[in-house]
């Protein structure tokens, strides 16, 4: 594989005991760990038992299925207010819809992995994909679904992204685990799944996460910035974590993911056909008089 590019450095973060502008009671970040993804290590005790690096009371915040209007920005605002960081696993198709939101995620210093092109079950080769409001039956090669998602996220961010991947529904196969290992991409399972996609009320999300943390004591938490209830819950959930004495650990990648040119070209061709150019609207349209 080609030599990986340098990963982007996260923005300044509030460590335990350091000030966070506008929020003296911020959750902050207790520590930053660097992750060497060579060989594709796995994280999250639901499926991987090897790398137990979290101490009691430590949590890693992760969000799947974005970016999504209103919901992802709400999550970002809550994280910023608490001067803390998370890992995002965007869907490639969603990334092409809302590249400006994903650029904001990157600019805030969060880690951005990938979560396939259209959230397909990678234990199968046939499913459905909703594009522009229309759901269609599709056939796919699981490796294509992975790589197209990685390239789409990279295109949307317009810069380095993390060599982190999460299987939809955490359904993985030995063949694909081996494939990601050869690509030097870490696989993220979870220590606790909030199941927030089944919830409609923010307090349900908060109760789910806090109850599971009380049971397990620490861990990688799986949530969804795609979900409205989660977006509404995040600000208060971070307060709950602070009040409960929990500390956030940020998993910073040692190097960026290396995309495959053929899939990059595929995304570029698709976006040109759709009329997109990858630039933020604010860089194309600027008010000079009002």
Residue 287, C-beta contacts closer than 8 angstroms, at least 6 positions apart: none
11 confidence band (pLDDT: 50, 70, 90): very low
Range 48-59 average pLDDT: 95
Rg of the chain's alpha carbons, rounded to an integer?
A: 18
| Tokens at 100, concatenated | 């400006």
**Distances 162 to 115, 243, 247, 259 between C-alpha atoms, Å:** 12, 31, 22, 11
d(CA 107, CA 157): 9
In this prediction, residue 275 carries a pLDDT of 62
Mean pLDDT for all residues in the chain? 91
Q: What pTM did the predictor assign?
A: 0.89
> Coil, helix or strand for 107?
helix
User: Residue 4 pLDDT > 50, yes or no?
Assistant: no
| Segment among 7-11, 22-26, 229-233 with least mean pLDDT | 7-11
How large a percentage of the chain has pLDDT more than 70? 89
Residues 6 or more apart whose CB falls under 8 angstroms from that of 249 comprise 29, 30, 31, 32, 33, 54, 58, 59, 60
């Amino acid at each position: 594989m080609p030599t990986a590019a340098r990963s982007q450095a996260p923005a300044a973060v509030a460590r335990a005991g350091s000030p966070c502008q506008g929020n003296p009671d911020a959750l902050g970040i207790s520590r930053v760990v660097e992750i060497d993804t060579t060989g594709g290590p796995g994280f999250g005790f639901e499926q991987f038992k090897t790398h137990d690096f979290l101490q009691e009371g430590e949590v890693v915040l992760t969000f799947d299925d974005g970016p999504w209007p209103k919901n992802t920005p709400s999550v970002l605002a809550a994280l910023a207010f608490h001067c803390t960081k998370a890992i995002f696993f965007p869907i490639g198709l969603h990334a092409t819809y809302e590249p400006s939101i994903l650029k904001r995620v990157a600019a805030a210093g969060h880690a951005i992995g990938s979560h396939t092109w259209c959230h397909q079950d990678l234990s199968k080769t046939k499913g459905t994909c909703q594009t522009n409001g229309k759901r269609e039956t599709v056939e796919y090669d699981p490796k294509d679904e992975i790589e197209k998602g990685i390239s789409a996220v990279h295109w949307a961010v317009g810069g380095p992204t993390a060599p982190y991947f999460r299987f939809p529904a955490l359904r993985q196969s030995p063949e694909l685990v081996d494939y990601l290992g050869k690509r030097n991409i870490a696989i993220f399972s979870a220590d606790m799944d909030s199941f927030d996609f089944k919830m409609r009320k923010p307090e349900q999300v908060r109760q789910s996460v806090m109850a599971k943390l009380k049971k397990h004591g620490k861990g990688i938490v799986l949530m969804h910035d795609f979900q409205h209830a989660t977006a509404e819950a995040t600000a208060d959930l971070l307060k709950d974590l602070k009040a409960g004495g929990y500390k956030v650990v940020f998993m910073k990648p040692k190097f960026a993911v290396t995309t495959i040119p053929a899939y990059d070209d595929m995304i570029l061709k698709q976006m040109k056909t759709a009329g997109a150019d990858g630039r933020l609207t604010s860089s194309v349209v600027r008010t000079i008089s009002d």
